[in-house]
């Protein structure tokens, strides 16, 4: 798993690629939490995420809680059909704004 952090003005952007599972979720959380602290608005581009386990869902929930605790918002971009279905069935999708493309996600927070 790789995470590239950048910013678009006052919006933090994380481009994630690979699998988010029990082995990689702790590192993802460790990398992303400081970004949530810095930016109230946060986009996670998951276009290149190929797998999301329950540990990945837990990490997303922690990011959501951290963001909303400081009146922030999180947008998920480019979810695969499989990840979208999993998040819908588990109820996780209702916590996030979802966009198909990175630019749409940034615009949703602007």
Q: Which CATH number fits domain 2-109: 3.30.750.24, 3.40.50.150, 3.30.565.10, 3.40.640.10?
A: 3.30.750.24
| pTM, two decimal places | 0.93
Q: For 65, list phi and psi in degrees, rounded to 5.
A: -60, -40
Count the helices and strands in the chain (H runs, E runs).
4, 5
Using one digit for the tens of pLDDT, what is the confidence trace for 5-43? 999 999 999 999 999 999 999 999 999 999 999 999 999
Q: 58 near 88, Cβ under 8 Å?
A: no
41-52 vs 73-77, strand pairing mode:
parallel
Which of 13, 15, 14, 19 has the alpha carbon at shortest distance from 1?
Answer: 19
């Amino acid at each position: 798993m790789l995470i590239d952090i950048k910013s678009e003005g006052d919006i933090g952007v994380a481009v994630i690629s690979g699998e988010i599972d029990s082995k990689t979720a702790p590192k993802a959380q460790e990398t992303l939490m400081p970004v949530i602290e810095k930016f109230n608005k946060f986009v996670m581009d998951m276009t290149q995420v190929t797998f999301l386990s329950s540990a990945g869902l837990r990490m997303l929930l922690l990011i959501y809680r951290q963001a909303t605790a400081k009146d922030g918002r999180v947008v998920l971009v480019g979810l695969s059909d499989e990840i979208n279905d999993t998040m819908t069935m588990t109820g996780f999708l209702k916590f996030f704004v979802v966009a198909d493309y990175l630019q749409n996600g940034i615009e949703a927070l602007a």
